[in-house]
Amino acid sequence: MGSNSLAQRDIASVMHPYTNLKKHLDVGPVVITHGDGVYLYGADGSALLDGAAGQWCSSLGYGKANERIAKVAHDALIDLPYSHIFRHQTHRSVIELSERLLALAPVPMSKVMLQCSGSEANDTAVKMAWYYWASRDQPQRRKMISRMGSYHGSTCASLSLTGNTDYYRGFGLPLPGFLKVSGLNHYRSGLPGESEDEFSTRLARELEDLIQAEGPDTIAAFFADPVQGNAGALPPPRGYFEKVQKILRKYEILFVADEVICGFGRVGEWWGSQRYGLEPDIITAAKGLSSAMQPISAVIVNEKVFSGIAAESDKLGSFIHGFTYAGHPVTTAVTNEVLKIYEERDIVGHVQSLEPQFLGILDSFRDHPMIGNVSGVGLLGGLEMVMDRADKTAFPKTFGLAPKIEAAARRHGVLIRVIADRLVFAPPLVITPDELAILAAGARKALDDVHATL
Ligand SMILES: Cc1ncc(COP(=O)(O)O)c(C=O)c1O
């Protein structure tokens, strides 16, 4: 089947997420046929080094190297192609995966509830927080606080947690009681002469002011991703989480760490929580959890939260929440195998060994006339692009920075993402030093191409 006919069939049948659907009818799709290592291959014969690991998730890369996982999926499909975990029923691989996640958790945790996507995991965490506070005779604690710039998902509650007003348009969201505080871009939002530490103090004060204005006994939980991935890979400013956690503890607000991007090695530790000293009550995880080979996410809760939810479920007769495919036996078997491979290959150690080179690459872009700032950790980094470095002038929306950079990068054989004026790197964690250098060279050529048009 030629690429043209696939493209035509796509236009005739497929509706794509986060896509201008009308424009898609004119421009058509980019057809990917297969992958190998860190490369994806297009139907037009192009080979593209995937600098975004798909959607920050294909940690083990593509192709033959994953044959062992394919065998596990094959066997699981024959042994037990489906079995639900509703109403006390269970199976071996869901138990093994839950045990494995509890053993890996960055802080002592009590139970794991599996879902099928990051959005579902965050929606579940919202409902769990409501149950928890109801069990503590504080049902009025319903409000959620999250941060501008953070993406938490696409379902109604997780989108309400998401701090991006563009995403609410047309949906009448966010839901009431989903409050926001500022994001973490010190380069953009820091005051003149303000240190990172002072910036963190100001952000923490903003959080406390909001809690006091709303009434501490109305706030259920605070959601944060350790590194703000969808704000363009922004690590927290110095001292941020220390100050924020002090406030959360003071007002007994539950802390939900959204580890959907950061978990499973991306930031050079198993968890972002380890890297930044987070002590969450609830962790949500997805993406790298299964190297995106199966749709799975996890909500991991501590004993305090679990015992509250358990008491409430007893009172109401059940924890009335769940999805048909949650804890799917094929999905959990594959995920168990992926996690075994992470350990065998010491994927976290591999990321740690690459981090100095990766941070060096990010630093090397500081000389580029379009780059105003760089930041990164592990194998997650971003370059802030500006029209004018002297006064940090941002590109106007009409310039179309993201499509221009992404298309130029493609011409130079690399896939990168541009989010909110930031060029983001999140390659598969199995990338080699040579491949990192190829990725950096492709990104630089893309920047040069676009700069030459200014
Ligand atoms: C930090 C974070 N949380 C949640 C999500 C939502 O995950 P999903 O797309 O699997 O629903 C994403 C997706 O990019 C994410 O980056």
* pLDDT of res. 264: 98
Averaged pLDDT for residues 144-167 = 98
* pLDDT of res. 65: 86
Phi (first) and psi of residue 277, to 5 degrees: 65, 35
Q: Which of 119, 155, 289, 424 to mutate to test the pocket of ligand 1 (most atoms within 8 A of CB)?
A: 119
* Domains delineated in the chain: 31-65+346-452 (3.90.1150.10), 82-344 (3.40.640.10)
- Expressed in angstroms and rounded, the spacing between residue 259 Cα and the centre of ligand 1 is 9
pLDDT in tens, 300-359: 999 999 999 999 999 999 999 999 999 999 999 999 999 999 999 999 999 999 999 999
d(CA 237, CA 235) in angstroms, rounded, equals 6
Residue 195: both structure tokens together: 């240190």
pLDDT in tens, 285-309: 999 999 999 999 999 999 999 999 9
User: Apex CA 438: angle with CA 61 and CA 365, to 5°?
Assistant: 115
Instruction: Write a three-state SS string for 128-191.
Output: HHHHHHHHCCCCCCCEEEEECCCCCCCCHHHHHHCCCHHHHCCCCCCCCCEEEECCCCHHHHCC
- Expressed in angstroms and rounded, the spacing between residue 260 Cα and the centre of ligand 1 is 6
- Expressed in angstroms and rounded, the spacing between residue 389 Cα and the centre of ligand 1 is 32
pLDDT in tens, 386-418: 999 999 999 999 999 999 999 999 999 999 999
Residue 1 has pLDDT above 50, yes or no: no
Ligand 1 atom 4, closest CA = 152
Residue 114: both structure tokens together: 């599996």
* pLDDT of res. 3: 57
